[in-house]
Amino acid sequence: MSLFELLEPTIMGMGYELVDIEQSAPGRLLRVFVDKKEGSITLDDCVAISNHLSQLLAVENIDYNRLEVSSPGLDRSLKKRADFIRFAGESIRIRLRIALQGQRNFVGTLTEVGNDTLTLDIDGKSLQFELENLEKARLIPKL
């Protein structure tokens, strides 16, 4: 079982969404990014999640020196199909594993999400991308 699969049900049970996990060298820093649909993540949210995860990680014998729980930030990463559906209509930046039309990086408005694809409006043109070809996707912050 991956660490993501271990933590996700616990975090969801607390009413939050597990967005991403970063791990430095084994046994060092464990960074957990969480979000919630209603409003922004607060410091109190991070403290509550951190306390709960500390106990879970101890029981599961997961080795780490420092645990950080954080909001995903304004440039939140998009990983799951549900993320793309939630943020339809927003501007995003994607990086592809395999180039499309000689290009790997694209910026546009997310207009449609299918079962295996997403569509971006890029300067008035619609381009479709395979979800499995996405290396990275992030929201573009509205400032």
Q: Over its length of 143 residues, how does the chain's per-residue pLDDT go in tens digits?
A: 789 999 999 999 999 999 999 988 766 899 999 999 887 899 999 999 999 999 999 999 988 899 999 999 989 999 989 899 999 999 999 999 999 989 999 999 999 999 999 999 999 999 999 999 999 999 999 87
Residue 13 phi, psi dihedral angles, 5° rounding: -65, -25
Task: Please state the domain count of the chain.
Answer: 2
Q: What is the pLDDT at residue 40? A: 86
- What CATH code is carried by the domain that includes residue 36? 3.30.300.70
Q: In terms of domains, do 11 and 65 share one?
A: yes
- Give every strand in the sheet of 66-70, ordered side by side: 17-23, 29-35, 66-70
Tokens of 112: 């449609």
The one-letter amino acid code at 52 reads: H
Length of the chain: 143
The pLDDT assigned to 78 comes to: 94
d(CA 69, CA 43): 9
Domain that holds residue 123: 81-139
Residue 131 lies in a domain: yes
Encoded amino acid at 142, one letter: K
Q: Select from 44, 70, 96 the last residue of a domain.
A: 70
**What's residue 114's pLDDT?**
92
Please give the pLDDT value at position 63: 85
Q: Are 110 and 120 in contact (CB under 8 A)?
A: yes
The residues near 94 (Cβ < 8 Å, ≥ 6 apart) are 105, 106, 107, 120, 129, 134, 136, 137, 138
